Amino acid sequence: MGSAHHSTERPCPFCQGTGRYREEDPVTPRDLRWTVASDHATGTHVCLKGEITEQAKVGGLRELPRPLVLDLSGVRYINTAGSLWLVNLLEELGGAITAERCSPAVVRQLNLLPHLADYLKVTSVVLPYECPECQVDYSVVVSVGTRRPSLPERRCGTCDAALVPDDPVDYYFAFLPP
């Protein structure tokens, strides 16, 4: 992997404190960083943060124990080469990878590259909302299954107005059948 890493014991939000974190040190703030929490009962949880480009260095993912769950809420940007790199990585990992809390950047790629969804079992996405009254932005985690979800009404925490998704729901969830 090239970068120095260290292990520390601290509570894991997925395995209730039984995991061990390994952090890769970023070279620049735009680099892709990742943390790993492993648990024999729930598998390996990897949180990715940053940008997925052809420069991303996550070769160590290939050696992690399965099942593998990717938390993609921290992925801010994916370029074309990064998308192809991600598809190749997922092919190498052999499928059966769960993706949770997919960021809007990841959802865009799922919609552009249907092949990507063949390798990821998406369980939830981060859906951006906005309050039409006070223009406050919200990010809401929405659980998904094999079909497009129906969204419950969300209210603004500032003015109590009904929130609206930033993107049309049919467009945002185009990677899922209706």
Residues 46, 65, single domain; the answer is yes
Domain of 74, in residue numbers: 5-122
pTM: 0.79
Q: Write the CB contacts of 6 (distance below 8 Å, at least 6 apart in sequence).
A: 22, 23
Mean pLDDT on 117-121: 86
Read off the CATH number of the domain in which 81 is found: 3.30.750.24
Residues 84, 167, single domain; the answer is no
Q: Do residues 117 and 99 make contact, with C-beta atoms less than 8 angstroms apart?
A: no
Residues 106, 20, single domain; the answer is yes
Please identify, among 122, 148, 169, the residue that sits at the C-terminal boundary of a domain. Answer: 122
Residues 131, 97, single domain; the answer is no
| pLDDT for position 164 | 94
| pLDDT for position 30 | 66
| pLDDT for position 80 | 87
Residues 104, 175, single domain; the answer is no
Question: For residue 71, which amino acid is it?
Answer: D
Residues 47, 113, single domain; the answer is yes
Q: How high is the mean pLDDT of the chain?
A: 81
Residues 78, 151, single domain; the answer is no
Cα separation, 74 vs 25, in Å, equals: 16
Total number of domains in the chain: 2
Residues 23, 54, single domain; the answer is yes
Lookup: tokens for 53: 């480009």
